Amino acid sequence: MSEAGELTVTLLRYGFLVLLWILVLSTVSALRRDLAVGQRNKTGTPTAREARKHPELIQEAPPSRVQAHQLVVTEGPLTGTTLELTSSPILLGRAQEATLVLEDDYASGRHARLFPQGSRWFVEDLGSTNGTFLAGSQLTRALPVEPGVPIRIGKTVIELRP
Amino acid sequence: MSDVLTVAKSRRNVEALLLLVAFAVAVGANYIAGLDREEPFNPYFWAQASTFVGMGLLIHIILRVRAKYADPVILPIVLALNGIGLAMIHRLDLPRIDDAAFTPVAQQQLLWTGVAISAAAVLLVFLKDHRILRRFTYISLIVSAVLLLLPLTPLGLEINGARIWISVGIGTFQPGEVAKITLAVFFAGYLSTNRDLILLAGKKIGPLQLPRFQDLAPMVAAWFVSIGVLIFQRDLGSSILFFGLFMAMIYVATSRVSWVLIGLALIGVGGYFALQLFSHVALRFDSWINAFDPEVYNRAPGGSGQVVQGLFGLGSGGLAGTGLGQGRPDLVTYANSDMIIAALGEELGLIGICAIVMLYVLLVSRGFRAALGTKDGFGKLLACGLSFTIALQCFVVIGGITRLIPLTGLTTPFMSAGGSSLLANWLIVALLLLISEAARRPAPSGPMTSPFPDPPGVGGHPTPGHPTEATR
């Protein structure tokens, strides 16, 4: 083999070792976010830059200062009924064990529940037949309820009041 | 609820970049290995390159679609290891290629690589969630038993004294390799269900919390499997592998040192009797301790010639190695399967072998990372067990070759010639990818934490049946 050829081969062989270590080091550097301890790494509030790039990181608007203290039925057979909100969750439905027993043919036995979390109330559908609607859209998961926003269950509409 | 706010990045683009480097390693190794022995860019070269690039991209695309948040470094690492192994197997074929009676191993291994990666792809597509495997806890115990017993049936083949192969039409298969996955599934399922029972019951003697006798059952089963493999299949390596797997998983599940001590005691007893009763175990030990004794070196069965020649190979490789294709690793028997690390050490040197060991370390650490991150106990145990098998296998093989421990015939994951090992390890990779996806996937948000319902009448609920009473 010519001398130039041999040189190329030698270079290739050392080059391969270099390539192997490039793979190792680039793998490690791809993981440095995982390996780093503390600081910029994960926990805590996102920095302004992160927040700008990923708006979903910012938690939903701070809870409104207006706390709900009352539940009022605004439509349906029970119109006018009010219920004081305590710190315990509220079960809505036709079942006898419900906190607010709805006399509504379109409501399920255990239809939905309202529960406090932090300073807010959330509503969650409990797998009802006809669904629960918060401000007109059907619930698929637990959502926060602001005072004055209507929750429709069958023919009944309830609202939280301050 | 203290939520950790992290941006959920899929990191698939990182994977794509690393894949490019891995392709370069795999294809480059193959090119350099055959540099002055064969025509460059021959059909085999293209077959190898297209298999790696095609299959690598296939898995990458499946991950993009099915498991977006899977760990980005596992696939590149494994592809690179597989490529280096295949290049070395091909390189070891070359000196004997003119021999008419010799069938090249590399072509077959390349075919197996294709099959193994396809199997991993199928697993990724059809197994949406690793937790489904939990349903098959006891089925996988039965499957493992069948797999381990298969070589003892008339289907089995005995090669070099070990009866761990079966013949399946086109070739041989090592069912024990697949059994390590099913055993890991069984142990993960069993321990994640019965963990609390095992932990709480039992007497305390001194600092050790001893388990109840009936809770020892899985440990005893594990011991029987390992000893059975050792006695009937005469395979020390698999026996160590299985027992190590059980010990690791029990320790991870219970974090009790007492279990490890009991396990070590059991294996000590078993090992002592094996040493007394079976010549092959005793010979292994002798050729480890007295390896450089000329008598031992030349002994016909169970001599130390293989290990010592491997050591000479490593020695002649030195720091930077002789260069791929320049050494004589083919002098060592089984250079392309059991001794492939010695062959690589000779031609890539200490620098190269360290890089390879680093790749294994990274792979195993990513497996454990997935175990740490995932939320279900079954997934944690399974990821731990599977990554531990890879780690233990590497330790047993590399330790054996460097004469740290007696040499046992285990395969080097992803590198050794042998289809069943490759297939099993790629399936492990698919499982680890799935578990890491479950670990890194952002959890769907939504506060669903407060318990409900309180019993009626408790916690200020009005008496049921009188809604008007609610207007207090």
Q: Please name the member of A12, A86, A117 whose beta carbon is closest to the beta carbon of B460.
A: A86
Q: Look at A12 and B35 and tell me if their CB atoms are within 8 Å.
A: yes
Name the residue with higher pLDDT: B258 or B70: B70
Which two structure tokens, joined as six digits, stand for B150? 């298969």
DSSP per residue, A13-42:
HHHHHHHHHHHHHHHHHHTHHHH--STTSS
Kindly list the residues from chain A whose CB atom is less than 8 angstroms away from the CB atom of residue B453.
89, 91, 97, 110, 113
Among all residues of chain B, which has the CA nearest to that of A41?
B6
**What pLDDT shows up at residue B271?**
79
Q: Which helix (H) or strand (E) holds B48?
A: helix B43-66
Name the residue with higher pLDDT: A88 or B179: B179
* Spatial CA neighbour of B320 closest among B355, B356, B350, B342: B350
* Spatial CA neighbour of B143 closest among B192, B165, B191, B176: B176
Q: Look at A10 and B323 and tell me if their CB atoms are within 8 Å.
A: yes
Is B208 an 8 Å CB contact of chain A?
no
Instruction: Count how many residues are written for chain A.
Output: 162
Burial of B115 (C-beta count, 10 Å sphere; 0-12/13-18/19+) = middle
Task: Please give the Cα distance from B401 to B328 (Å, whole number).
Answer: 16
Task: Please give the Cα distance from A98 to A111 (Å, whole number).
Answer: 9
- State ipTM: 0.84
Name the residue with higher pLDDT: B142 or B267: B142
Is B472 an 8 Å CB contact of chain A?
yes
| Structural contact between residues A125 and A107, judged by C-beta atoms closer than 8 angstroms | no
Q: Look at A17 and B17 and tell me if their CB atoms are within 8 Å.
A: no
Interface test with B, best of A14, A21, A23, A82 (most B CBs within 10 A): A23
Task: Please give the Cα distance from B28 to B44 (Å, whole number).
Answer: 13
Q: Please name the member of A1, A83, A97 whose beta carbon is closest to the beta carbon of B36.
A: A1
Q: Look at A141 and B446 and tell me if their CB atoms are within 8 Å.
A: yes
Lowest-confidence pick of B90-94, B210-214, B298-302, B341-345: B210-214
Lowest-confidence pick of A16-20, A151-155, B77-81, B168-172: B168-172
CA distances from B5 to A46, A56, B462 (A): 7, 10, 40
Residues 6 or more apart whose CB falls under 8 angstroms from that of B40 comprise B31, B34
Q: Look at B320 and A98 and tell me if their CB atoms are within 8 Å.
A: no
**What pLDDT shows up at residue B40?**
77
**pLDDT greater than 70 at residue A118:** yes
Is the pTM value of this prediction over 0.80?
A: no
Kindly list the residues from chain B whose CB atom is less than 8 angstroms away from the CB atom of residue A83.
470-471
Q: Please name the member of B25, B447, B466 whose beta carbon is closest to the beta carbon of A117.
A: B447
CB-CB neighbours of B328 under 10 Å: 16
Q: Look at A43 and B450 and tell me if their CB atoms are within 8 Å.
A: no
* Spatial CA neighbour of B222 closest among B252, B243, B198: B243
Is B80 an 8 Å CB contact of chain A?
yes
Q: Report the Cα B466 to chain-centroid distance in Å.
A: 64
Task: Please give the Cα distance from B434 to B67 (Å, whole number).
Answer: 7
Kindly list the residues from chain A whose CB atom is less than 8 angstroms away from the CB atom of residue B36.
1, 9
Q: Which helix (H) or strand (E) holds A121?
A: strand A120-125
Distance from CA of B158 to the nearest CA of A (A): 38
Residues 6 or more apart whose CB falls under 8 angstroms from that of B174 comprise B164, B165, B166, B418, B420, B421
Which two structure tokens, joined as six digits, stand for B209? 């919390």
Q: Please name the member of A19, A27, A113 whose beta carbon is closest to the beta carbon of B18.
A: A27
**pLDDT greater than 90 at residue B211:** no
Distance from CA of B364 to the nearest CA of A (A): 13
**What pLDDT shows up at residue B53?**
95
CA distances from B377 to B160, B189, B190, B289 (A): 41, 9, 11, 42
Name the residue with higher pLDDT: A62 or B386: B386
Is B323 an 8 Å CB contact of chain A?
yes
**pLDDT greater than 60 at residue A75:** yes
* Spatial CA neighbour of B253 closest among B215, B281, B221, B299: B215
Among all residues of chain B, which has the CA nearest to that of A91?
B453
Q: Please name the member of B35, B72, B472 whose beta carbon is closest to the beta carbon of A9.
A: B35
Q: What does DSSP assign to residue A115?
A: E
A–B interface: beta-carbon pairs under 8 A: 145
Torsion angles phi and psi, residue A100, rounded to 5: -115, 105
* Spatial CA neighbour of A61 closest among A162, A144, A3: A144
**What pLDDT shows up at residue B470?**
39
Q: Give the full edge-to-edge strand order of the sheet including A112-117.
A: A100-101, A90-93, A112-117, A120-125, A143-145
Please name the residue that has the structure tokens 């509220």.
A90
Which two structure tokens, joined as six digits, stand for B307? 């290990």
Q: pLDDT, tens digit, for every residue of A20-42?
A: 999 999 999 988 877 655 444 44
Among all residues of chain B, which has the CA nearest to that of A35?
B369
Kindly list the residues from chain B whose CB atom is less than 8 angstroms away from the CB atom of residue A51.
none
In single-letter form, the type of residue at position B318 comes to G
Which two structure tokens, joined as six digits, stand for B16? 């794509």
Task: Please give the Cα distance from B414 to B20 (Å, whole number).
Answer: 19
* Spatial CA neighbour of B33 closest among B332, B313, B306, B336: B336
| Residues facing A91 on adjacent strands | A113
Q: pLDDT, tens digit, for every residue of B20-41?
A: 999 999 999 999 888 877 777 8
CB-CB neighbours of B225 under 10 Å: 21
Q: Look at A78 and B467 and tell me if their CB atoms are within 8 Å.
A: yes
Kindly list the residues from chain A whose CB atom is less than 8 angstroms away from the CB atom of residue B472.
84
| Structural contact between residues A161 and A72, judged by C-beta atoms closer than 8 angstroms | yes
In this prediction, residues B211-217 reach a mean pLDDT of 71
